[in-house]
Chains A and B, each alone.
Chain A
Amino acid sequence: MLTILFDGIAYGMLLFILAVGLAVTMGLMNFINLAHGAFAMAGGYITVLLMQRFGVPFLLCLPLAFIGSALLGGVLERTLYRPLYHKPHLDQVLFSIGLVFMAVASVDYFVGSTQQIIQLPEWLKGRTELGSGAWMLGMGHYRLFIIAVCAALTVGLQYVLGYTRFGSRLRASVDDQRVAAGLGINVNMVFLTTFAVGSGLAGLGGALGAEVLGLDPSFPLKFMVYFLIVVAVGGTSSITGPLLAALLLGIADVAGKYYIPKLGAFIVYSLMIAILIWRPQGLFVRKGGK
């Protein structure tokens, strides 16, 4: 029972890191970036390649995955994304889905299409068990680690967006670019940073998730649906919305597979449909938001 809950939370947290960048670009920057999963995959592959070819320790790989995908995101924002900010959403969707296919094909070509396997350090492999019987709580150390990292990130993000100068600049740029620019805010810089950080978070999620979710070139396509569900259910106007949505979905997914294995993966979709019928704008919408 509790073990299922625990696994669900860990899974949800992972989904959250993967999707939060998308929530930021989609909600705050009003850009539909379906290629988000490609940045996650980039992070995953950076980790795998560093570990396999150069023997870099796992913990060091995580920040490198973040930085690597953030740089990639920054460069692409500068070169490819920026001209599309004012284009209709359909153009953005077509463009970014094209990027996904290119990413899939190039990883396939350069690295190969096999599942990549990560060897975790010993101290992350174990498992702690508390209690017994129906209330036994079994915690895999790695999942515990995921939860800790995600919790820290959430607090950090919430703080940056809500209480720092950068956060208010970002919100100002989003609400009205021209006025914000008139006030001396470097809108381009703000968007560039935001996009890079969002991509970096995706990369970090990919690096953390390689162990649990598996990693192969079809990763962005396989998980695109999950990201979109998290963002659709959680709404895009805050950090807490996607967080709670991700947790809800993670727990529902794990519990559904455990208790009703026949329905398996379908639980997530039914839940999403139910929530969206009930609240079409997502679970947590700022009143008066666009």
Chain B
Amino acid sequence: MQKRFFLHAIALATVAFTATATLAQDNTFKIGLILPMTGQQATTGRQIEAAARLYMAQNGDTVAGKKIQLIVKDDTSLPDATRRLAQELVVNDKVNVLAGFGITPSALATAPIATQSKTPMVVMAAATSSITQASPYIVRTSFTLPQASVALADWAPKNGIKKVVTLVSDYGPGIDAEKYFKERLIFNGGQVTEALRVPLRGPDFAPFLQKVRDAKPDALFVFVPSGAGAAVMKQFAERGLDKAGIKLIGTGDVTDDDQLNDMGDVAVGVVTSHHYSAAHPSAMNKKFVEAFSKANKGLRPNFMAVGGYDGMRVIYEALKTSKGQGGGDALLAGMKGQIFESPRGKMFIDAQTRDVVQDIYLRKVEKKDGQLYNVEFDVIKDVKDPGKAK
């Protein structure tokens, strides 16, 4: 135990020392991208890597006189692997920025390394609110679940949805979604009659959905990680909840663009709130979607891809403003406060919380040209993460 602690201390000391000492010598700028490329969350990794490479292809790989080098590592969504890889990237490869992070535990496990080595850490996917508080070097370009769920809780009561049952996966993001949705819905005069948490590995949603049906709410609010969304939706329809007059609402993970087409017609009409849809009607997004699917055999970008794309932009611009000089702190300063247009619309990196501030859209699944899309019909402007408002 003592030996381990000692090694640990040495490793961290080296990290702190070398990170500052070697920055100036090298003319490459290294970005360590840690993503789940295999295992349960592999689509997240695939989308983000593709988006990061697309950004580099579009914007060149030389910024402020430095050659950008992307080092992709696969952490298979195991937090201890993420931590080890981050340590290796910082100590051996001497990366200037850590980026990626598919799931919340991975991001949290890496936070101390970012703090101690003063390496900016750009979170491109993980969405639990508290992540940015884990280290002053974390910047987030994805979204937070409170952001998405609060917007939905604002919209619902105005559209005749007062009584809601929530159903979330029993882990960090799910509990965030449940909590903030409930608080805001009650604030808006609605009520949550029942809060169901399903095990993350819960194979069969049938009993939970039957319970929802017997509770007869106006709507069912769902958060499950993308992938499980399709199962919920099919069983929702199979059980006849839609015919019983219950609406299905949720955060955008349920109707992930990556999987939406495979879900089939059961998805049509589902209302979700999220920060990105592949159908977002802006010139920039059209260009982004087209270039992305062209570079990736017709793959449609989802909200993970846009998090990766914007994360790369944040890094590029920070490098430009710091003129290629200076270490982690200068880069971090360049990242804070960036306002720019992303394929998702306008977004802003809040200088205080280092979290993303963005428009949250309300979308309904519709069929366009034989394909299913999340079509935006309403927007709530400049949503700051409600988890930080304390």
Contacts and interface: CB of A to CB of B under 8 A. Distances in A.
A258 interface: yes
Contact of B203 (A138, A140, A213): A213
A140 B263 CA distance: 19
Interface stretch (A76-84, A93-101, A215-223): A215-223
A254 B40 contact: no
A4 B42 CA distance: 35
Interface of B: 38-43, 170, 196-199, 201-204, 206-208, 210-211, 227-228, 230-231, 234, 237-240, 258-259, 262-264
Interface in A113-160: 113-115, 117, 119, 125, 127, 129, 138, 140, 142
14 contacts: A7-B206, A11-B204, A113-B43, A114-B43, A114-B258, A115-B228, A115-B231, A127-B239, A138-B239, A138-B240, A140-B238, A212-B203, A223-B203, A264-B199
Contacts of B230: 115, 117
A254 B288 CA distance: 45
Nearest 8 A/B pairs, CB to CB: A257-B207, A258-B207, A115-B227, A113-B42, A117-B262, A213-B203, A254-B207, A265-B199
B125 to A, nearest CB: 15
With most chain A CB atoms within 10 A of its CB, the pick from B198, B204, B230, B262 is B204
A4 B208 CA distance: 10
A84 to B, nearest CB: 29
A261 B197 contact: yes
Contacts of B43: 112-114
Contacts of A117: 230, 234, 259, 262-264
Contacts of B234: 117, 211
Interface string A246-263: 000000011111100110
A212 B235 CA distance: 8
Nearest to A119: B264
Nearest to A142: B238
Given A3-B210, A114-B43, A257-B208, A108 B202 contact: no
A254 B203 CA distance: 11
Given A4-B210, A213-B204, A113 B239 contact: no
Given A119-B264, A129-B240, A264-B199, A214 B210 contact: no
A246 to B, nearest CB: 14
Contact of B198 (A3, A113, A222, A264): A264
Interface string A27-67: 00000000000000000000000000000000000000000
Contacts of B262: 117
Nearest to A218: B40
Size bin of chain A's contact surface: 35 or more
Contacts of A3: 210
Contacts, number: 93
Given A114-B227, A117-B262, A261-B211, A216 B203 contact: no
Given A117-B230, A254-B206, A261-B197, A140 B239 contact: yes
B195 to A, nearest CB: 9
Contacts of B196: 261
Contacts of B202: 257, 264-265
Contacts of B39: 108, 113, 218
A212 B209 CA distance: 13
Given A108-B42, A222-B203, A7 B238 contact: no
Q: Which of A125, A138, A212 has the most CB of B within 10 A?
A: A212
Contacts of A114: 42-43, 227, 258-259
A254 B198 CA distance: 12
Given A108-B38, A214-B228, A214-B231, 18 more contacts: A11-B206, A113-B39, A113-B42, A114-B43, A114-B227, A115-B230, A117-B234, A117-B263, A127-B239, A127-B240, A129-B240, A138-B210, A211-B234, A213-B203, A214-B203, A222-B203, A258-B208, A264-B198
A142 B206 CA distance: 12
A258 B231 contact: no
B228 A255 contact: no
Contacts of B238: 125, 127, 140, 142
B263 A255 contact: no
A223 B258 CA distance: 26
A213 B205 CA distance: 9
A123 to B, nearest CB: 13
B359 to A, nearest CB: 28
B204 A212 contact: yes
| B170, B196, B206, B227: most-surrounded residue (chain A CB, <10 A) | B206
Given A112-B42, A261-B197, A264-B198, A7 B207 contact: yes
A7 B239 CA distance: 11
Interface in A194-248: 211-214, 216, 218, 222-223
A216 B207 CA distance: 22
Contacts of A119: 264
B29 to A, nearest CB: 31
Given A113-B39, A114-B259, A222-B203, A258 B228 contact: no
A147 to B, nearest CB: 14
Nearest to B206: A7
A112 B197 CA distance: 28
A114 B240 CA distance: 27
Contacts of B231: 115, 214
A274 B208 CA distance: 25
Contacts of A222: 201, 203
A146 B238 CA distance: 15
Contact of A254 (B38, B197, B204): B204
Contacts of B258: 114
A117 B226 CA distance: 13
A119 B261 CA distance: 11
Contacts of A212: 203-204, 206
B8 to A, nearest CB: 30
